[in-house]
Amino acid sequence: MKIRYFLPPLIWAAIILFLSLTPSNQMPEVTIWALLSFDKAAHLFFYALLALQLIIAFKKQNSVYTLKYSAVTSAFLLSTSYGVLTEALQYYMFAGRSADYLDIIANTIGVITGCVLFYVIYNQPLKQYKY
């Protein structure tokens, strides 16, 4: 498996982790309307891009057949798990940050958005995808 295909999503995941674990001065109180806030939009954007990059990396590699042909499912599961993990790290390990279930929802919506974007951008069914 060529690592060069996975460099963009790995670098992006590191950026997400850094931003997620950097202490913030003050976090606003979370209400149901906070889902529409800039913070939630940022979560959505970051995880949409992560999922999209992972799908492309999985599709480009030729070493693991299962990853290539289940790229969307694999990217969805990996990206969603990563979003939950970063929230768990915020909750258990870092002072100045707090976990938020609405962040997990925004992350998951972002992952779904990234998966949909893959189909929109490449406009082909998964099995007919070519580079």
- Full residue range of the structural domain in which residue 102 is found: 34-128
For residue 5, tell me if it sits in a domain: no
For residue 70, tell me if it sits in a domain: yes
For residue 111, tell me if it sits in a domain: yes
pLDDT at 107: 94
The C-alpha atoms of residue 45 and residue 89 are separated, in whole angstroms, by 20
For residue 3, tell me if it sits in a domain: no
Domain count, the chain: 1
For residue 1, tell me if it sits in a domain: no
Q: How would residue 32 be classed by pLDDT, with cut points 50, 70 and 90? A: low
For residue 14, tell me if it sits in a domain: no
Asked whether 47 and 107 are in contact (CB, 8 A), the reply is: yes
The mean pLDDT of 32-45, rounded to a whole number, is 73
pTM for this prediction: 0.79
For residue 8, tell me if it sits in a domain: no
pLDDT at 47: 96
Question: Is 70 exceeded by the pLDDT of residue 38?
Answer: yes
Q: How would residue 27 be classed by pLDDT, with cut points 50, 70 and 90? A: very low
For residue 11, tell me if it sits in a domain: no
